[in-house]
Amino acid sequence: MILRINLNMIFYGKAVEKTAFSREKSIKKINKGVIFMKMLYLDCFSGISGDMTIGALLDAGGSFSHLQNELQKLPLVDEYELNVYKVVKNGITSTKFDVVLKNEEHGHSRHDHSEQDDHGHSRHDHSEQDDHGHSRHDHSEQDDHEHGHSHKHVHEHHHGHSHDHHHEHHHGHSHDEGHHHHHNHSHHHRSYRDIVNMIQEADLSEDVKDMALKIFKKIGEAEGHIHGVPLEDVHFHEVGAVDSIIDIVGTAILLEELEIDEIKSAAVPTGSGKIHIDHGVYPVPAPATLEILRGVPIAQSDLKAELTTPTGAAFAAVLAEEFCDMPSMKVVKVGYGAGTKTFPNHPNVLRVIIGEEA
């Protein structure tokens, strides 16, 4: 049997070089004589954010204990706690992943979702707004975000994020519901170089480091472009926040654990409406998110909310080798990651489908 692996992907008719991560994985598979590739499809019909992605990967078989152990290799252990629990979104049981920051004035509870700590921090990452009031980007306006992100996106590295997530946990426990991440980001304002050094010095695998660094670089370049500053001078209030680092490095850890060789994605819906940023009221997608999505197919959505955060946009832009409808594969696992908000007729979840491609 001949194993044929295409080292180029077709991007709506355009050949694009595959990621180094995928190429190295392909070479390892060939050397081991494996005759199939393990593919992951991002079915982001409701957008994508950092916490939704981790929730979906855990739901698809990723190990929470492994994730915790690997994340402890970062010098952030005393700054956060992780919560994972099941919620039901419009009839779909899914996994909710939250990062709860310690020592925050209000005890911030995740979220990537475009978070914006009530401080105006716009973490961008989860375009969601946990029903905890976190709004990772406080998009006030409709923080309906499918993910519930209320991101205030104060992009600009000086963002002042105010993660206002509102996680919906239907649980008995109080996840800080309302987690008002109010991180006072004074200590969370990390520079791009600080983040790079932190990841490079951690005792993580080279694949995980490489993936995480590419994602941070993508976000940093977008922020720098929007604000007119060099990459090295970019400071991340949002992305530099602990939960953003956890989302990005955590996603890389789980993708490696699940032994994913190739990632494909549906077109990315960004939502519609307007969001509040430190500089005023802006249209969805927010400037940084749109910049990150250059070259990525965007799907139209009538939902008045921010569905995709900068972190989620970076996952799609950096990790996906092809944007397409559901690809041919033998389905092995399916995972659902919950967003924060709940919409009347739309399940606010990210679905990941893992399968084998012969």
CB 108 within 8 A of CB 161: no
- Lowest mean pLDDT of 26-40, 88-102, 120-134, 214-228, name the range: 120-134
123: pLDDT strictly greater than 50 = no
**Average pLDDT, stretch 329-348?**
95
pLDDT range class, residue 24, cuts 50, 70, 90: low
Greater pLDDT, 164 or 309:
309
Domain extents for the chain?
43-254+266-316+337-351
Q: Is the pLDDT of residue 11 over 50?
A: no
Find all residues with CB under 8 Å of 330, minimum gap 6, and list them.
355, 356, 357, 358
From CA 328, how far away is CA 66, in angstroms rounded?
A: 30
Percent of the chain with pLDDT over 90: 56
**Residue 108 pLDDT exceeds 50:** no
Q: Which residues contact 310 (CB under 8 A, 6 or more apart)?
A: 114, 124, 125, 153, 155, 219, 222, 238, 239, 286, 288, 289, 292
Average pLDDT on 295-310 reads 95
Between 182 and 72, the higher pLDDT residue: 72
Strands 37-43, 262-265: pairing is parallel
pLDDT of 101 reads 86
Locate 217 and state its tokens. 């670089």
pLDDT category of residue 212 using cuts at 50, 70 and 90: very high
| 347 compared with 239, residue with greater pLDDT | 347
The band of 277, judged by pLDDT with boundaries at 50, 70 and 90, is: confident
pLDDT over 80 (residue 39) = yes
Asked whether 322 and 309 are in contact (CB, 8 A), the reply is: no
Mean pLDDT of the chain: 76
Query: Residue 102: which of 183, 199, 38 has the closest Cα?
Result: 183
Residue 179 pLDDT more than 50? no
Of 314, 232, 311, 319, give the one whose Cα is nearest residue 51: 311
Write down the pLDDT at residue 236: 74
pLDDT: is 212 or 19 the higher one? 212
Evaluate if residue 44 carries a pLDDT over 60: yes
According to the model, what pLDDT value does residue 148 have?
Answer: 42
Mean pLDDT of 118-145: 38
pLDDT band at 32 (very low <50, low <70, confident <90, very high): low
pLDDT at 283 > cutoff 80: yes
pLDDT category of residue 99 using cuts at 50, 70 and 90? very high
Give the per-residue pLDDT at 65: 98
Select from 86, 61, 94, 39 the least CA-distant residue to 350: 94
Q: Which residue has the higher pLDDT, 126 or 308?
A: 308
Binned at pLDDT 50, 70 and 90, residue 285 comes out as very high
Look at residue 154 in the predicted model and tell me its pLDDT: 34
Highest mean pLDDT among 72-81, 156-165, 224-233, 249-258: 249-258
